[in-house]
Structure 1
């Protein structure tokens, strides 16, 4: 009989859960590994003084034996309820719906791997988001928060930082003191878009940005300007519009750009939905997307794939982003310094049919 079988037999002799199945205790895991109960406990709870190899060995043994900690006892012992929090603004232009399903799935899967849970709440506006964060933290419903869609000046960051509540941002912010984050380099995508269009022969390249108060808009504008500088094109403020995150916004700003005496031959949109509104503006001006007007965007939503013509866009792996954020937040809650929890990823260009060489006006 193996050592694991010996322990399982001892469990069967010593007691059962109410369900009738034997309950594996932390002592059983410690005996199996020849470690102290304290070492096993600290390894399972992710303490920084336990080597990563030891933590993995303990986690593997616990899974093999079927050990599952009692949540209430663990909360009393560690002061943690092992729950990650996220409050989504589902109202107005701040809606997270385009990437929500994959994003939450990624967070949940990574949290489950560490025996953590995810608590998701929704609110209709920014003020309600902050109120919900205050309530969840005050009631100790979660141990820390993931903050999607960060602003340059973000009240959520100010509150959590001032109350010493762990958080990780999906994005960056204007004041990054005591902040950890995972973000996609949207500014690099915009720079690459300018380079691509310039390489196709375009010299009047317009830009339609997102909402000015979000940090991603500031960064993507920086990327667009960096791209112009890199290829040697002058900055023309007449070719730059902003505050477009819906089809209606894209239509409005597209009409403004395409109504100019010398219109742009290509337009980059910071948001896919705005690009799809731009499609409508081009149609109204009797311009064929991909021939008379090249369009590139960012997000990689499925609606762009099925547009006519399909939209060339930078795509983000939101499931992987969710996994990375969950991992970083758990580390932050366990005591890692926020300055050590800053990661950047890159968007992937999906080449479709909405961009090409310019034609003569």
Structure 2
């Protein structure tokens, strides 16, 4: 690598599937502004497609819960060591850290020691748990780009240079051709459609999908014309899903991805807590949020959590606007009871949609990735 290109090199660190999608959009916008920029970092297939040189894949780095995090400590030490070696040998001009706070807040300190500016894109949820991290962030981060409007004041009070850019989900959600979806999937638009979204990690799916299918069978008994669809993440073991469907004896259509398409045609979706819940909210799709953690992770999480709800939609609303089930509450009876109450009531569905619309109207609009790129490019000039 020659000195000219070395001075144009940006490091991006992401640690999960959602961040890989946002990182790809960011890389695309950065290259529109500066076509000669070189981007290196951690990521996945989406960032690879945008020409990012991937050092470690997010499928190996992503974790759920305390025990899985502990099991990957050795790998994460190696990731950190290799990234720091890269920084010292390739003269990185700036570093962009995307979410992934357990790793990124820590490595930010080491990067700053090398006199490299650190831009944090998508803030750790310091308002929800472990608020003390904001002191470390203030010491280690040159610029914080937040995607939730109320985060601005939190960081300003801590003396952090902060900017609200809007939520990048608006950049990745696309309108689907509903008629084509109905046709391709053999779905009848005149009959109820229920989406099942058990998450994008195998562990989540194994925790949640059996209860979701059992709930679907109960719904089918009460509303025989119900149709069920599952948009499977690429990372999820398809053989496990197929085997479970055969075992349970349910008519469940499985498609590859396209959760936003499912949200646009479903009358209701049962969704694992996470980014997909906000995607549903942006699309005005009624949903039930479910989540299940290991007992140890739950105990530790409850001691640290500063908000009443687990689901981001309800956290943003400050109230439970969609049903939220966690831990032992996640069972077929509870899921089906909430689902039936919504499916049978146009008034409930309309109220949920109205409240979701009020929340998402505060999150900005398309263009967050472009705004982030413009802020980041300043550190390369």
Under a length normalisation based on structure 1, what TM-score does the superposition of the two structures give? Answer: 0.38
Higher-Rg structure is 1
Tell me the TM-score normalized by structure 2: 0.36
More helix by share: 2
